[in-house]
Structure 1
């Protein structure tokens, strides 16, 4: 329909200048090429049968114009040529560049010189540009705007894109020497639509097919005819050099023998090249896995087919996280379910992989769980985008997340959220202590939680559909710390059932506070509100072991041949000494720093310890000592 509208406008008596307007990559230039093909095939109305479409290179028109009047002189020659040859239709790609081109003090730019010819119909000109550039350069000049007739080029549907790809795949098969399956075309359309939202169909789907074919081609090792051709080429060069040397030495019988051998090799080489041109050998096939691999390389999102090793890893994910985060089985289960759904592509494609609000006493592992996911699942600690929400307690600080609006200081400067997620689509976004943020921040997050994208200050849409969003909060801290104290003594008093009932009541009270603090439309968009359990004595004991193991690993990383061993009863003693409802497990780190790291540092400096050495933590008179 765009080509038909193009023909209708070209058939007008005056102002017969179509302007193709559309997003980058939707096929504006391809429409002009399509019209040229129709003219060549004779499938156009009679008035277009003798027409030729010629592209104007503005760079060449301007290049080398040193003196006033040179540019205008060149342009006048072009216009005279077009008037003399009415069969020529001019095509200017990026037509907005005519505004200002060639302008100098006291002279005219290209747009003003060409205006009269465009209005009278003496020159037919097809232009192509984007909406943004049209608004900026052409729409502001009403006289220029009225001379062009806008043809809106919309992004094709996935079905139309598939038809386009099937039509052009033969060109890519011939160029790369591969076979492109229909499965690959369908995958290119669906995956580009989901994982490359900043670009437009059909361009982004074509890019995936082209790059996948290029990857197969560059990975191909020459064999068969290609390998033989190389060998014969090398042999031919050797014979030519040997023949020349024999002639120089006046050994004519040998030179004649080389000449005969050279003729034979040339004949075989020509036959091999003819066979190769028939295209009897394809170097590979492009299907869905090859397209998925390219998308993974572009976006960093793992979407390739699951290997047996990766399936095992996903199944063991809960166990791995539990070995790092102690006593929080419910939270770990909820997060791993979301990760598995996302990795298999079964989650909602229009929302983030998961969005959770973590509640609980301080120091029970809320932030640590987000860090563990980044390290264990994504194998990249830098994939954690951590935002301390205490920095956003004022409404104007929202610009730190999405950028400052136009007209304000900091416009187009980098920001802490959208710029980071745009660069790394597969990320864990952690909003730490979210209750400290200004209420306007929650309104901003509604779009992310519901639609999976966010528009930044520059108007660009940022994709959050491959991120895991985690928010932590200390709401109801007083009730939680009280319950933590009861939970710690419950094991000793053998009163687990009473503690469980009280804990359920505390959770209900806490959910009441959450509903008072957060608006319903915010809570309804979350995948889950997870309350972390207070740490019991057995949990703290496990954390002590983890911290000591981490300390030993640090010694090894620093090439210190030191090992800390735990004596009998020392784990329980440290757990009791460090328990604090207000601090959770954080007291253990501080205790080990004071009682273990500092003494070891002092002894190393005083040369009282000489690696390799084994150090033991033991209990004496209720105190932990280092031997």
Structure 2
């Protein structure tokens, strides 16, 4: 056994972290101690040697370290010339050098991963100065300033023992060939019948897509091309690929072609990476095993390959795979939306060009009808559930209106699949209009009023509904009822959010209560989650916080994540004026087109949301803030809004709704409403207590529960402190064993009074 010495240059990043670099290689690692660092690097070298009989060359026998200080003037370079900065920098570079076996000398400049040989020790200083200055002068000013912050490194070494005489046995493959990495990261495809049944109630069929299936088969098996199926969400991209691969698999078995098929998610490639360069090694092994298995790999969510692995597309898994694809060493298929394909062409053109594109468009209404008939026939024959023709017609109509951003047949397959699962769980043998309406309400929260054209809208009841919940704000009530009427009539713009409002007015006058009332009316009938998404815009006061709101790279932001989870919802952007103005530019597309598209072409749809922004702009002009008999007119608020926001943003908002200051009668009504809500609490219900509040208590709470600065905000605290807590103490001290009436009042001595009258 011989030993190879690798110089190890390590930098103390902080008290608990060391960054180590094997000089003369691209291998780096991070660990908390020198021993751990050396162990990690040695483990990697041994793994490479054992698996591939390969290791990086290293010829320096006794490496040494010298820190060389150089002066350089940073400069920007372009086609127009060189533009030096005024200051000269002093930069210290580590130089690793030593004698090699043949009597010469080798010198490494690890910072730039460059090296050179020299023949006499006296040449060292001059050559180091020349090579280092050349590299520094070519570096950008940004890199030079980063180099100044590097800590002083320390030199150590790692020893790898090798046998120069050993005969290499390629991987230990038996005639049965087990693929360790491939089996760990990917799933064999097609799945077994039992696996398929667990994934979907419907078969993997590409009805009405025969032409696309034949085209995919020809390109995948005939010309051995990498194929990308491109179409809108729901057009049947996965079904086309599934059908093509199944047919190729059947042909392969009959003709003994030996094809194998695999399916993989991009994030699994890097999920198990432990050190720098680990996932690259995994990908190389994956490509090697696919070649040995004569494999074709289907990558789900292809665009994620550009987001996985590095900091950007240029050092991502996609970039690493590009050479394998271009050289024909890897056979890959996948799918993408047109926006995702465009982003791949923009961010990593060479990767996108490695694929043959098959575009599939929208199905006609007649074709969609045929697909739904096929689904119904399959359900009747195999699942013993009948999907009635009128139910299929209703599904088509509802999805066409309320899911306009997704395509047929995908959205119909998804909805009918959920309806079938629901019917089987209820042991129902038929799906009719009633079952379709019920399932649609559960999925969207929309009331039956919107889903059934034959149900008329009672306009008086509608206005009463909102007036009971929004007190003292007639303009707000009118605005919300108008939204309901337009939506019921089907006249809202399907390519924008259902509506967008800016609620302006002083604090504590009912803006948030109005938002809650609208969300409950529109989307509160069946969803398990709250239909109200609230985002505090005061948390986004700086431009760099836009990524936390919208998202960047792999991670979606708060706004995108919430709406993807609850597409049917009211979106409340609270205190919107406190957000940085640059954030409003990102919201223009949301208000104008109802979508947000990230850098990778992924869409988030807002066309089933109602966007409401609240603001206190203009409230400072009031003579009595929060409540009173005087209030500024709408023009003052509109003027304040137009001064703060850009015109193109204001013009995209459907309506500015001004909330008035509360009058004395409104204050009493709100107090009575809140007290009425207390009667429904569990403690009163389970004891059978009938609660009655006397007028003196109502007036007292109205007086202390409203504040000139905060409006109605303190009322809840006043209720808890002056009513709920004293009543709770009384109920614990006087257990109620039979129904009765509890009269709660307020005495002249400024005390709460409780009078219990048991029923006879």
Residue in 2 that maps onto 1:549: 676
Residue in 2 that maps onto 1:278: none
Q: Whose strand proportion is higher, 1 or 2?
A: 2
Specify which of 601, 610, 617 is matched with residue 745 of structure 2: 617
Residue in 1 that maps onto 2:303: 132
Moved more, 434-443 or 196-205: 196-205
Output the CA distance in 2 between the equivalents of 1:561 and 1:481: 47
1:102–1:109 contact (8 Å) kept in structure 2: no
Note the alpha carbon deviations across 1:401-421, whole angstroms, 9 max, x for none. Answer: 333x23xxxx53x75332222
2:450–2:488 contact (8 Å) kept in structure 1: no
Residues 585 and 154 from structure 1, CA distance in 2 versus in 1: closer, same or farther, beyond 3 angstroms? same
Residues 126 and 598 from structure 1, CA distance in 2 versus in 1: closer, same or farther, beyond 3 angstroms? closer
Specify which of 328, 351, 360 is matched with residue 144 of structure 1: 328
Residues 546 and 296 from structure 1, CA distance in 2 versus in 1: closer, same or farther, beyond 3 angstroms? closer
2:515–2:612 contact (8 Å) kept in structure 1: yes
Output the CA distance in 2 between the equivalents of 1:553 and 1:304: 27
Note the alpha carbon deviations across 1:455-492, whole angstroms, 9 max, x for none. Answer: 468753222222222221111222235376661xxxxx
Output the CA distance in 2 between the equivalents of 1:615 and 1:587: 24
1:364–1:532 contact (8 Å) kept in structure 2: yes
Output the CA distance in 2 between the equivalents of 1:216 and 1:533: 50
Residue in 2 that maps onto 1:165: 371
**Deviation at 1:11?**
11
Residue in 1 that maps onto 2:15: none
3-state DSSP class of the match of 1:334? helix
Moved more, 330-339 or 192-201: 192-201
Residue in 1 that maps onto 2:229: 21
Residues 32 and 478 from structure 1, CA distance in 2 versus in 1: closer, same or farther, beyond 3 angstroms? closer
| TM alignment of 1:102-117, pairs within 5 A | 108-111=288-291
Note the alpha carbon deviations across 1:200-231, whole angstroms, 9 max, x for none. Answer: 5433334445555676688777xxxxxxxxxx
**Runs of 5+ consecutive residues of structure 2 not aligned to the other structure:** 1-210, 270-279, 307-317, 332-353, 755-760
Residue in 1 that maps onto 2:753: 626
**Deviation at 1:435?**
1.4
Residue in 2 that maps onto 1:584: 711
Q: TM-score, normalised by structure 2?
A: 0.53
| TM alignment of 1:16-95, pairs within 5 A | 17=225, 19=227, 21-22=229-230, 26-27=235-236, 53-55=248-250
Output the CA distance in 2 between the equivalents of 1:397 and 1:458: 19
Residue 321, structure 1, aligned to residue 528, structure 2: no
**Deviation at 1:529?**
0.8
1:371–1:384 contact (8 Å) kept in structure 2: yes
Output the CA distance in 2 between the equivalents of 1:574 and 1:359: 26
User: Greater relative contact order: 1 or 2 (C-alpha under 8 angstroms, separation 6 or more)?
Assistant: 1
3-state DSSP class of the match of 2:368? helix
1:374–1:384 contact (8 Å) kept in structure 2: yes
Residue in 2 that maps onto 1:330: 475
Residues 506 and 144 from structure 1, CA distance in 2 versus in 1: closer, same or farther, beyond 3 angstroms? same
Residue in 1 that maps onto 2:507: 362
Specify which of 655, 677, 689 is matched with residue 528 of structure 1: 655
2:507–2:626 contact (8 Å) kept in structure 1: no
3-state DSSP class of the match of 1:417? helix
Residue in 2 that maps onto 1:203: 410
Residue 416, structure 1, aligned to residue 558, structure 2: yes
Output the CA distance in 1 between the equivalents of 2:683 and 2:220: 77
**Deviation at 1:142?**
0.8
**Runs of 5+ consecutive residues of structure 1 not aligned to the other structure:** 38-51, 58-77, 116-124, 222-282, 488-498
**Deviation at 1:513?**
0.8
**Deviation at 1:536?**
0.9
Residues 318 and 134 from structure 1, CA distance in 2 versus in 1: closer, same or farther, beyond 3 angstroms? same
Residues 214 and 602 from structure 1, CA distance in 2 versus in 1: closer, same or farther, beyond 3 angstroms? closer
Q: Whose helix proportion is higher, 1 or 2?
A: 1
Residues 361 and 333 from structure 1, CA distance in 2 versus in 1: closer, same or farther, beyond 3 angstroms? same
**Deviation at 1:515?**
0.7
The two structures, once aligned, show a CA RMSD in angstroms of: 5.0
Residues 583 and 177 from structure 1, CA distance in 2 versus in 1: closer, same or farther, beyond 3 angstroms? closer
Output the CA distance in 2 between the equivalents of 1:33 and 1:548: 60
Specify which of 580, 594, 606 is matched with residue 452 of structure 1: 594
Q: TM-score, normalised by structure 1?
A: 0.62
Output the CA distance in 2 between the equivalents of 1:287 and 1:561: 42
3-state DSSP class of the match of 1:363? coil
Specify which of 590, 602, 608 is matched with residue 466 of structure 1: 608
**Deviation at 1:547?**
2.7
**Deviation at 1:331?**
0.5
Residue in 1 that maps onto 2:665: 538
Residue in 2 that maps onto 1:238: none
Specify which of 402, 414, 430 is matched with residue 572 of structure 2: 430
2:697–2:744 contact (8 Å) kept in structure 1: no
Moved more, 105-114 or 468-477: 105-114
Output the CA distance in 1 between the equivalents of 2:723 and 2:501: 37
**Deviation at 1:26?**
4.2
Residue 153, structure 1, aligned to residue 359, structure 2: yes
Note the alpha carbon deviations across 1:374-422, whole angstroms, 9 max, x for none. Answer: 445515782222222222222333333333x23xxxx53x753322222
